[in-house]
Structure formats: C-alpha cells, structure tokens
C-alpha cells in the first residue's frame, strides 16, 4: 500500500484530539487543491507514472490503482483514524466488507473465535456459515459475564469480537475489562462501534485492536451511500489493507467524497440525535401502551452502568416492546406518518422495523431479543412531531 496516510503537519495537530475540528477540517490541504474549500473527488481508477523507474518503485505517497488507494478515500480514512485515535484506517465498499476483512486478519484455519450473541445479523451469518468452510470454530457469549468469557477461551482462540451496544438488543460489554483479559491470553479484539460512532465511544483508547464501522449509518449520515471502515494500529491495518486489496471491497471515490461531506456535520448531528433519542426514549418509557424500552441512555437499561463507564453520549437507535398482540403492533407501525418502514438507520429520516422473529426463551435470555420487538431510529426531524406521531398511533392500540 502506498504510504499515502502520512499526516501533514496540520493533520497531526488536529489528530491530537479535537473531534469537531477533525470532522470539519482534517485533510483540507488548500495549498495542494488550488484553494478549493472542499477536497476534490478523484474519480479515477489509476494514476500514471513519469518513468519506468517510478512505476517499478513508486515514491512513498504516490497513488497507483484505486482498488488499493485513492486520494479522496485517503482523506476520509485519515479523518476516521484521527477520530478513533488510531494510527490508520482502511475504508471498504460496505460495513460487511470492513467486518469480514478485519475478522479474517485475526483468524486462520484451525483457530477459534469468540463473539457476542447480539452481533449484527449478517456478521453472525458470516461466523456460522462461512467459518466452517475455512476451519475456524466459534463460541457465542452474552458479553456481560466475564466468567463466561474466560471459560470460553481455548488454547487456539485468536479473536474476541464485540459489538457494544449490540444490534436490536443494544446490550453492552465492559470494553476495558474484556481487552485486559484478551491481552493476558494474546487474543486480538475487534469491535463494531457503529451505534455510538467515534464521537461517543473510542474503543482503541480502551485497548481494542480493531474498530469497525458501517459508514452507511451515522458516519455517512444521509442515507445515500453504502460503505465501511476499519481502524487501529499501523500493524493491524497493514493486514486489513492487504485483505482489502485481495478481496477487492474497496470504498469508491464518490462514496468517500460523500462520506467526507457527511462527517463535517457528524458532531452536530450526533448532539441532535442524543437530545432527540433521550426525549423519545423517556416519552416511550412513560407511555401506558409500552411494555418496555431498551435504550442505553435510560437508567432502566440492564447495562446502563457499563455504558456510563465507556460511552460519552448516546445515539438515537432504540428498541421497545409495545403492548398488545403482534397484529396490533404491526398496525401501530403501519399507522405512523414520520417513521418510515425500513431497515438501516443513521440518516436524517426516522425509521421503524418490526421483528417477525420468534426468539426461544433461551435466545431471549442470552441475546436480549423478544417477540414483537420494535426498533426505531429517531431522525433529525422536529422531535415534537415525532413524539406526537408515536403517541397518536400508540393510543390506537387495542388490548
Ligand atoms: C448496517 C450495519 C452493519 C453493516 O453495514 P453495511 O454497510 O450495511 O455493510 C454492521 N454493523 C451494524 C451495527 C449495522 O447497523
């Protein structure tokens, strides 16, 4: 990989830790880009060389081919690496591209993997369906019981995979305690940090080796791209970048350009998300037609104290269980005006999904998922209007 991520002096200063300035200005490099206030979109697949000598031995920092590195993608990677306090970041064509390439940098044939029960569905499918084909075994843990984790460690355990808060169930893991155990046994750790975003949680500073994100959600922020990113030490990222080069799931230049634009507003979007999320969660918890709300920012959340130790804020994706039958819950979702029925989250628009999955009592206990669970993403629309919308439809539920 071209050593294109060498920070310039201004980047280094910003990378010291002002998230707002990193999002707004890291990578601007006006002198390099003719004074353009927005870094340009390098929509090209290759770069040409001035001589055969240069072609054979490119000067560090030279770009060659866009499956390996691209100047626009490079700026996006530097921004996320600085936000996560990592040495490097490697961007992908999707969150799943980043997740699979990062896990495969840590596991190999004959190895063993430990992952949390609540991991994102397709990540779980990768573990259950793909691992047997490459000779890797796996154990799922709740992630909230350190003794259970210790008992799951085998001599050939290579990777512990976390997602905190997890998908749908929003369970949290004590990141510092788990990475301390992993280091004792020389096991690599990977965490999906999509829910909190790098604004509200920085797992690399808590001992995690690799942090992965979907960029399709909060980082992109406008529901107009699918992308992903992994970050960590230069050593880990070299392995991840090698996987990207071979698997070929490189983030495209236009997606990178849009992600840079999305990141300029990431800190203020997340401030708005946190304020709206807390208001909506509190409203739901007090509503007579709601059985239970699962939101990391509410003291009623089973892992609230873990969250308080490692999150500096909360996103606006939450789950709840309305009262009434599944038919009534479906009708509740169908009646909403502002919450659109759709997967994904992290954009400007409010969304809702209704689970048709009927978890067994054991799955309910271990994964924290329940029948007729509803997941909502509170978007950036007027919060009063969103609450009024939820209220009008909840009130119509018949018991
Ligand atoms: C959406 C999502 C992913 C997958 O990202 P894609 O960009 O869709 O591949 C991974 N983790 C979490 C928590 C997600 O919500």
Residue 214 Cα, ligand 1 centroid: separation in angstroms?
Answer: 5
Q: Residue 238's CB: how many other CB atoms inside 10 A? A: 13
pLDDT > 60? residue 246: yes
Split at pLDDT 50, 70, 90, the class of 362 is very high
CA 24 to CA 258: how far, in whole Å?
14
Backbone angles phi, psi at 193, to 5 degrees: -105, 25
* Whether 250 contacts 267, CB under 8 Å: no
Given pLDDT bands bounded at 50, 70 and 90, which one contains residue 270? very high
Mean pLDDT across the chain, nearest whole number? 95
Cα atoms in the Cβ-side hemisphere of radius 13 Å centred on 88: 18
* pLDDT over 90 (residue 5): no
CA of 216 to the centre of ligand 1 (A): 7
Helices then strands, counting H and E runs in the chain, come out as: 17, 12
In this model, does residue 29 exceed pLDDT 80?
yes
State yes or no: pLDDT of 3 exceeds 70.
Answer: no
Q: Listing from the earlier edge strand, what are the strands of the sheet with 137-141?
A: 88-92, 228-232, 210-214, 188-192, 157-163, 112-116, 137-141
pTM score, whole prediction? 0.96
C-alpha to C-alpha distance for 26 and 98, rounded to whole angstroms: 22
Tell me if 390 sits within 8 A of 280, measured CB to CB: yes
Residue 7 pLDDT > 80: no
Which residues, in sequence order, are CB contacts of 61 under 8 Å at separation 6+? 2, 3, 4, 6
Residue 15 has pLDDT above 90, yes or no: no
Residue 8: how many CB atoms within 10 A of its CB?
14
**Residue 4 pLDDT exceeds 50:** no
Higher per-residue confidence, 60 vs 11: 60
For ligand 1, residues with CB inside 6 Å are 94-96, 120, 167, 192, 194, 214, 216-217, 226, 228
Per-residue pLDDT tens digits for 171-229: 999 999 999 999 999 999 999 999 999 999 999 999 999 999 999 999 999 999 999 99
pLDDT band at 16 (very low <50, low <70, confident <90, very high): confident
Is the per-residue pLDDT at 322 higher than 60? yes
Give the pLDDT score at 17: 85
Please name the residues in contact with 60: beta carbons below 8 A apart, sequence gap of 6 or more: 2, 3, 6
Q: How far is the C-alpha of 43 from the C-alpha of 92, rounded, in Å?
A: 16
Question: Residue 142 pLDDT > 50, yes or no?
Answer: yes
Give the Cβ contact number of residue 344 at 10 Å.
Answer: 14
Residue with the smallest CA separation from ligand 1 atom 7 is 95
Range 21-46 average pLDDT: 93
């Amino acid at each position: 990989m071209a050593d294109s991520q060498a920070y310039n002096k201004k980047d280094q200063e910003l990378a010291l830790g002002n998230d707002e300035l990193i999002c707004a200005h890291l990578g601007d490099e006006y002198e390099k880009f003719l004074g353009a206030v927005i870094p340009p979109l390098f929509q090209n697949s290759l770069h040409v060389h001035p001589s055969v000598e240069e072609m054979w031995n490119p000067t560090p920092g030279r770009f060659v081919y866009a499956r390996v590195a691209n100047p626009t993608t490079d700026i996006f990677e530097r921004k996320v690496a600085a936000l996560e306090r990592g040495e490097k970041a490697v961007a992908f064509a999707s969150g799943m591209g980043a997740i699979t390439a990062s896990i495969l940098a840590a596991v190999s044939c004959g190895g063993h993997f430990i992952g949390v029960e609540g991991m994102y569905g397709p990540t779980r499918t990768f573990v259950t369906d793909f691992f047997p084909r490459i000779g890797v075994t796996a154990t799922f843990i709740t992630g909230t019981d350190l003794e259970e984790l210790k008992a799951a460690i085998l001599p050939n355990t290579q990777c512990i995979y976390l997602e905190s808060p997890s998908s749908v169930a929003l369970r949290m893991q004590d990141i510092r305690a788990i990475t301390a155990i992993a280091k004792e046994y020389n096991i690599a750790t990977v965490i999906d940090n999509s829910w909190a975003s790098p604004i509200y949680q920085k797992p690399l500073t808590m001992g995690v080796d690799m942090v992965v994100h979907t960029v399709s959600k909060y980082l992109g922020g406008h529901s107009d791209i699918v992308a992903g990113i992994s970050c960590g030490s230069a050593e880990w990222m070299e392995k991840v970048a090698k996987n990207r080069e071979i698997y070929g799931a490189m983030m495209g230049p236009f997606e990178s350009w849009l992600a840079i634009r999305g990141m300029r507003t990431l800190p203020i979007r997340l401030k708005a998300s946190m304020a709206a999320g807390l208001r909506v969660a509190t409203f739901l918890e007090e509503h007579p037609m709601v059985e239970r709300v699962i939101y990391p920012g509410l003291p009623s959340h089973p892992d609230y104290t873990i969250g308080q130790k490692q999150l500096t804020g909360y996103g606006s994706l939450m789950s709840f269980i309305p009262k009434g039958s599944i038919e009534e819950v479906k009708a509740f979702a169908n009646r909403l005006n502002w919450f659109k029925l759709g997967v994904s989250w992290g954009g400007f628009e409010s969304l809702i999904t209704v689970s048709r999955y009927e978890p067994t009592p054991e799955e309910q206990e271990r994964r924290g998922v329940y029948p007729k669970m509803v997941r909502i993403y509170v978007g950036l629309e007027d919060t009063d209007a969103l609450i009024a919308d939820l209220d009008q439809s909840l009130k119509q539920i018949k018991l």
